[in-house]
Chains A and B, each alone.
Chain A
Amino acid sequence: MTERPAYSPGLAHHFETHAQQHRAATLGIWLFLGSEIMLFGGMFMGYTIYRILYATAFEQIAAHTHFWFGTINTALLLTSSLTMAMAVHHARAQNYQKSGRWLVPTAVLGVAFLALKVVEWYLEYRENLVPILGWNFDAHGVAQGPARLFMGFYFVMTGLHAIHLSIGVCLVVGLMVLLRRDKIARENPSKVEIIGLYWHLVDIIWIFAYPIFYLVSA
């Protein structure tokens, strides 16, 4: 029987080894990501159904999303995934200083994405493309119902995504603080990896959302 060390920094009392704790943390985050995929999946399914039912209308109204905002945001988020991956890489090698440094651009890029998103939403508000509360909705000649549906899905999905991204930014900043204060045990890089996985999920959701809202109209 393996002798459990009496005290081991970063090893919770109910685990026997670091390897076990790390396995548990990793499986846990993957399951959580699975649940997030189901959360967004419901919306993707709903969108797909209406896309099929109202093909023409969706294509036409999709021309009114802001292509450059969406594309630049995609680039920002992809880059942030790269910097996050670098942070995880260094954490695994236990170079926590370097890891922390790579977290900075990750958070900055995330905030930049959110800032652009808010500007984009404001523009859509000015262009009367927000289908809520009986506000004037300018469907630009497209059938009202399907046009409203498209924009409705757009706002709910990008809104939900933005909430998740904001949480991600907070987690990254929190992680930076922990690293600065040397509160991550040498033997336990799990925290960085877990938040890394979460960040990548938020990115992947955007990768699927981007084409269905920005690349639909030829």
Chain B
Amino acid sequence: MAPTLKNYLQDGSTLRSWFLSTDHKRIAILYLLSITFFFMIGGTVVGLIRLELLSPAGDVVSSDTYNRLFTIHGVIMVWFFLIPSIPVTLGNFLLPLMLGAKDLAFPRLNLLSWYLFIGGGIFTLVAVVVGGVDTGWTFYTPYSSTFANSAVITVAAGVFITGFSTIATSINFIVTTHTMRARGLTWFRLPIFVWSLYATSIIMVLATPVLAITLVLLAVERGLQIGIFDPSLGGDPLLFQHLFWFYSHPAVYIMILPGMGVVTEVIPCFARRPIFGYKPIAYSSIAIAILGFLVWGHHMFVAGESIYAMLMFSFLSYAVAIPSGIKIFNWTVTLYKGRIYMKTPMIYALGFLGLFTIGGLTGLFVAALAVDIHVHDTYFVVAHFHYIMVGGMVSALMGGLHFWWPKMTGRLYPEFLGQVSAWTMFLGFNLTFFPQFLLGYLGMPRRYHTYPAEFQVLNVMSSLGASILAVGYILPFFYLVWSLRWGKKAARNPWRATGLEWEYADSPPIKTNFESPPIVHGPAYDYDPQKEVNFD
């Protein structure tokens, strides 16, 4: 009998074998550690913010410090956590496996992307250390270009460098999906997670360069006073907003599409039936990617755009809601005639369904011109995007991590603690962010260090919720690490899931993923709800 091959975790234990590895699985782990690190920094910062907001007066930190706190919270969470999150961890790990390939198309580029990510992160952390940046993560001019007294160019440089990491990853994903699919793996047999990574990558490769040029112009404006955004020199501060949002709106779809992909893998597995409406879901991911490029002006309804622009952007913003709506309907119908098992990944996926629905519905509020005038730049918008990003995206990340944990580590996480954390997170999340909808409509603006006294009770509720939410995130960190050493060993396919990564690769996989290239014979999600399942 042939000797068993070492798995990718065992294959080399020196620092060099990890930090110079071109194995997509090891790079995924490096990324996982990195984004966890950034998430903790971003989360600690928000702890301070919610602590400050317990009382109306600004008594915990000074205004200047507070302004730096919310700015760095946004910068880190957007660029160093949310945008990379699922693609660089689960995407990097799973894409070759799901396609039946040995690695991504450009393994060395993949490693370079991690170093670019870390490089950008270091710049940004240096900026924090030397005094921080206080422009808001949106860097609006002329405040950021002329008036701010903080490390704007350093942070812009950090984000710029990290942008190349994103572009590199996206090129890798698109090329791998086109050229390295296994025999028999046609486009419409792909797992939806692959479709969602593909759509995400299209947005990444086309939108991120616009951010790059925007940051270059900001740095040139701030450093050389060239006058492109300075009205006293003939420039236009609104040009910055157009350039910035042209990237940053598609960016939010970069953040959510991979999460939708994860949910589309988890629900069929724990409902033991095929996804309902495979093609509509696949096409809707592409539709979101395309339409997402056409709505940036909805961030500027109050900024002074023409009425024609406002009407067009409002209309298109409603249009982009429709493909998301299709996904929600289809996920719900996927539960029909299924055999439902409420394991931890399923709890997170269903939590995503609920929270993303609420977040998406509040998108209809802000897309309505009359309503947006009132709620723009208030906590209503803050609640809206946190429902989607945290309620949706982070739930999906947690669900995905738990689902593929046995594949990645060869260990099972403790199921009871998994369920406790998921519910804790769900409850804490709603207590944190639902009051913010009310605060926003009442008229509490964003980025307020001090606030009128009548807003205090709702703010206290929100801060209380945040502390519960924090528990929901800290628990998994501990038991997942615990499971690496003491968790039950996982079989190849503990969830009896479909997909090449489950059926043909070990848990954890060998370095080259498969002993021989797999061949695909039928559609994805070949589950039968009439069969009972015994999970490990």
Contacts and interface: CB of A to CB of B under 8 A. Distances in A.
Contact of B207 (A12, A38, A143, A153): A38
B175 A28 contact: yes
A27 B175 contact: yes
A40 B225 CA distance: 21
Given A27-B174, A156-B220, A145 B227 contact: yes
A46 interface: yes
Contacts of B225: 132-134
A43 to B, nearest CB: 6
B146 to A, nearest CB: 12
Given A35-B208, A156-B217, A156-B220, A149 B179 contact: no
Main secondary structure of the interface of B (DSSP, over half): helix
B180 A20 contact: yes
A145 B105 CA distance: 48
Contact of A149 (B178, B180, B228): B228
A41 interface: yes
A20 B179 contact: yes
Interface string A134-173: 1000000001111111001101100010000000000000
Interface string B72-104: 000000000000000000000000100001111
A49 B239 contact: yes
A46 B226 contact: no
Contact of A42 (B178, B205, B246, B519): B246
Interface in B207-261: 207-210, 212-214, 216-217, 220, 224-228, 233-235, 239, 243, 246
Nearest to A57: B234
Nearest to A150: B234
A182 interface: no
B233 A35 contact: no
A46 B243 contact: yes
Given A42-B246, A146-B234, A149-B227, A31 B174 contact: yes
Bin chain A's interface residue count.
Answer: 35 or more
A38 B174 contact: no
A148 B226 CA distance: 8
A125 interface: no
B194 to A, nearest CB: 16
Contacts of B183: 1
B106 A28 contact: yes
B517 interface: yes
B243 A156 contact: no
Interface residues of B, number: 45
Nearest to B208: A35
A39 B210 contact: yes
A131 interface: yes
Contacts of B180: 14-15, 20, 24
Which of B220, B233, B234 has the most chain A CB within a 10 Å cutoff?
Answer: B234
B167 A35 contact: yes
B210 A131 contact: no
A36 interface: yes
Given A35-B208, A149-B228, A152-B228, A27 B178 contact: yes
Interface in B174-221: 174-176, 178-180, 183, 205-210, 212-214, 216-217, 220
B206 A148 contact: no
A143 B234 contact: yes
B107 interface: yes
Contact of B101 (A14, A35, A132, A152): A14
Nearest to A153: B228
B167 A156 contact: no
Contacts of B519: 1
A20 B180 CA distance: 8
A27 B244 CA distance: 28
A1 B172 CA distance: 25
A36 B209 contact: yes
B470 interface: no
B171 interface: yes
Contacts of A15: 180
Contacts of B207: 38
Contacts of B235: 145, 149
Contacts of A153: 228
A145 B207 CA distance: 29
A133 B233 CA distance: 12
Contacts of B170: 31
A32 B226 contact: no
B227 A42 contact: no
A13 interface: yes
A44 B519 CA distance: 47
Contacts of A12: 107
A109 B288 CA distance: 44
A80 B186 CA distance: 42
B25 to A, nearest CB: 13
Contacts of B175: 24, 27-28, 31
A6 to B, nearest CB: 14
A145 B176 CA distance: 48
Contacts of A145: 227, 233-235
B213 A39 contact: yes
B145 to A, nearest CB: 13
23 contacts: A1-B519, A13-B102, A14-B101, A14-B103, A14-B105, A23-B178, A28-B171, A28-B172, A35-B167, A35-B209, A36-B209, A38-B206, A38-B207, A38-B210, A42-B243, A46-B243, A131-B226, A132-B224, A134-B225, A144-B234, A145-B235, A148-B233, A149-B235
Interface of A: 1, 12-16, 20, 23-24, 27-28, 31-32, 34-36, 38-43, 46, 49, 131-134, 143-149, 152-153, 155-156, 160
Nearest first, the 4 A-B pairs at minimum CB distance are A145-B234, A39-B209, A132-B224, A14-B103
Given A42-B246, A149-B228, 17 more contacts: A14-B102, A14-B105, A14-B180, A23-B179, A24-B106, A24-B175, A35-B167, A40-B213, A42-B210, A46-B217, A46-B228, A131-B227, A144-B233, A147-B234, A148-B226, A153-B228, A156-B220
